[in-house]
Structure 1
């Protein structure tokens, strides 16, 4: 993190906002503001995500303060970015909150601009995942020094077990009736695909009620992708899967008693929303046809274990589309799933740590030069 400093960002008719780094005295105010905007969060969650992050020297949060009160926070998660044969720091922007009394004062832009300027020399880029409205807002904040680039939509694959779970009372009557009629057909389709999905008797799958950090690290090291990606390893996995309040289950595929692939699964079931099984991490990251049989065996076991859940979600780019299709997964941007799942977009802003490397900058801004996963996406 760059040396701490504070600036006057902008004036309003009732006073000026002071943009600065987070201080220990801000903890209670941060948690109150976060709970106001999102949901309840514990002290242990804050400690894990920000204070215990192994890639941060200090708490990676920027705040906007006025008259001694916190008006907004712009946290980020520093992560190691692998770019070919070099590793640099990337800042994933997360959890932006502006207090309702201070909205429409330009604080989102001010906080982001201050962070990018302050961390210019120390980071290779900022990355973020945004809704369509947030994407438009971010892309308007170009300056002479740095520019955000759109990397396209974050590609997800969904296996829907219960379409009715996605339809609320705010949907039209024809949509509700259609979902009720379609759910039995989806369940039958999934059962048939499960029955006829290609299997490989040489692959065995074992379920672990925890995350075998060293095993995942070895799988990552054996097949690191050439594309830009967040670097994994024992340090990363040990921190990432220590997230409080969340359970992770790991499925490991073996051939001849040797681990060849793995999937980490976590579930969400918030009141009023569909229950979800997220395939948080899929290894090897470079995937491809060579791992197709192992991925198919893993999906067979996972879909059976989670047949009770409303839907399963996985990031694209690792498991081949043909394997997804064989197990009832469809791209989230195709009908009818696209009617119920809002798109999320990826954005990147190259910073000073790669300013002298045109090749690295080009890889950062190339839509198909990034390897993404729910493991990283769900940090935000």
Structure 2
């Protein structure tokens, strides 16, 4: 900060936590000590809090945090930082603080010896800012919704979607499920926790070359310890051997008046007939037991679209949902300190949508 510059841009310090939470409550509402501790202090992949802040007259007026993941891309495991919780106090907006905090983060992580990249799903308002800073749009991350109560949906979707979707809900969901073919050689077990070793072993059975979060035991132990979501696990087991062949972590959260259930993670991420049979049995059990939820959502990049359709899920990139939903768009770039960053890491194109295999696990909102 110079004599003419009223703002100091710096890394997060331990004494900033209370001020961060106060600013978060002012800007977004909510936030808690437990949530902050889980997301930023207990993350197993960084030894620091990956956050840059703006300070004015001793007050914290802006923050540019990242949620850290260890990504897997072929045989490499670079550090991946996902943007989220970016905020500037209303009295200090439109003064370039978002840009300055982000540029400072690019400088810091670009100087590290290891490869570090950012990947994010910013909203339409903040996306142009990232693009100006050298990020690129990778493509849309398609999401599928099983809308079980259109009238309960929030954020303006309810009134528009109710008239469009009610006939589908009332006439189609149960009929589709009845027509779905449920494998008889698979049984499903439900667990009120997230069995880290079992899920990590399922993941290792078929690992894609595309970029995704490394799913190891410590990842599962941390990732699904989030205090503002409730998680449980469904495992599909081969009846003959009783061995797990697929698993789904299901998250639940009340969002306003809407009861949302998310298929937060799916393992293995890729696979053949055994995986498909397991997923069919899992979807059948999950939609039956979550019939009271207003909304069940899944990422269609890891579950066959035909299976999702069979169980009443509609994609948000096609009618009718494309009329009433906002696309989720992935952006990315390397922190390599160059004005024009490289777009290839370990032979993988970062700006190619086929280079990514993501679930809600890699999304800081779930």
Under a length normalisation based on structure 2, what TM-score does the superposition of the two structures give? 0.92
Once residues 169 and 124 of structure 1 are traced to their aligned partners in structure 2, the CA distance between those partners, rounded to angstroms, is 37
Report deviation, 1:323: 0.8
Report deviation, 1:164: 1.9
Residue of structure 1 in register with 2:118 after alignment = 126
Residue of structure 2 in register with 1:294 after alignment = 278
Report deviation, 1:88: 1.3
Report deviation, 1:94: 1.3
Residue of structure 2 in register with 1:198 after alignment = 181
Unaligned runs of 5+ in 1: 1-7, 142-146
Report deviation, 1:65: 0.6
Once residues 168 and 362 of structure 1 are traced to their aligned partners in structure 2, the CA distance between those partners, rounded to angstroms, is 37
Residues 21-72 of structure 1: per-residue CA shift (max 9 Å, x gap) = 1111111100001111222122111111101111111122111111101110
Once residues 168 and 365 of structure 1 are traced to their aligned partners in structure 2, the CA distance between those partners, rounded to angstroms, is 30
Residue 365 of structure 1: SS of its match in structure 2?
Answer: coil
Residues 290-349 of structure 1: per-residue CA shift (max 9 Å, x gap) = 522111110000000111111111112211111111111111122222233211211101
Once residues 234 and 265 of structure 1 are traced to their aligned partners in structure 2, the CA distance between those partners, rounded to angstroms, is 17
| CA separation of 1:237 and 1:148: change in aligned 2, threshold 3 A | same
Once residues 107 and 335 of structure 1 are traced to their aligned partners in structure 2, the CA distance between those partners, rounded to angstroms, is 39
Comparing 355-364 and 292-301, the one that deviates more:
355-364
Unaligned runs of 5+ in 2: none
Kindly indicate whether the alpha-carbon contact (under 8 Å) linking 2:212 and 2:362 is maintained by their aligned counterparts in 1: no
Residues 136-160 of structure 1: per-residue CA shift (max 9 Å, x gap) = 221122xxxxx31111112111111
Kindly indicate whether the alpha-carbon contact (under 8 Å) linking 1:288 and 1:320 is maintained by their aligned counterparts in 2: no
Where do residues 1-380 of structure 1 align in structure 2 (5 Å cutoff)? 8=1, 15-122=5-112, 123-141=115-133, 147-166=134-153, 175=160, 178-179=163-164, 182-255=165-238, 256=240, 257-272=242-257, 274-287=258-271, 289-352=273-336, 358-360=344-346, 362-379=348-365
Once residues 170 and 322 of structure 1 are traced to their aligned partners in structure 2, the CA distance between those partners, rounded to angstroms, is 25
Report deviation, 1:283: 0.8
Comparing 194-203 and 362-371, the one that deviates more:
362-371
Kindly indicate whether the alpha-carbon contact (under 8 Å) linking 1:82 and 1:229 is maintained by their aligned counterparts in 2: yes
Once residues 323 and 120 of structure 1 are traced to their aligned partners in structure 2, the CA distance between those partners, rounded to angstroms, is 42
Kindly indicate whether the alpha-carbon contact (under 8 Å) linking 1:253 and 1:259 is maintained by their aligned counterparts in 2: yes
Runs ≥4 residues deviating over 4 A: 167-172, 287-290, 353-359
Report deviation, 1:171: 7.8
Kindly indicate whether the alpha-carbon contact (under 8 Å) linking 2:53 and 2:60 is maintained by their aligned counterparts in 1: yes
Report deviation, 1:185: 4.0
Kindly indicate whether the alpha-carbon contact (under 8 Å) linking 2:262 and 2:298 is maintained by their aligned counterparts in 1: yes
Comparing 351-360 and 201-210, the one that deviates more:
351-360
Residues 150-196 of structure 1: per-residue CA shift (max 9 Å, x gap) = 11112111111122223778987xx47725xx525423311011111
Once residues 198 and 222 of structure 1 are traced to their aligned partners in structure 2, the CA distance between those partners, rounded to angstroms, is 25
Comparing 35-44 and 367-376, the one that deviates more:
35-44
**Count of aligned pairs:** 360
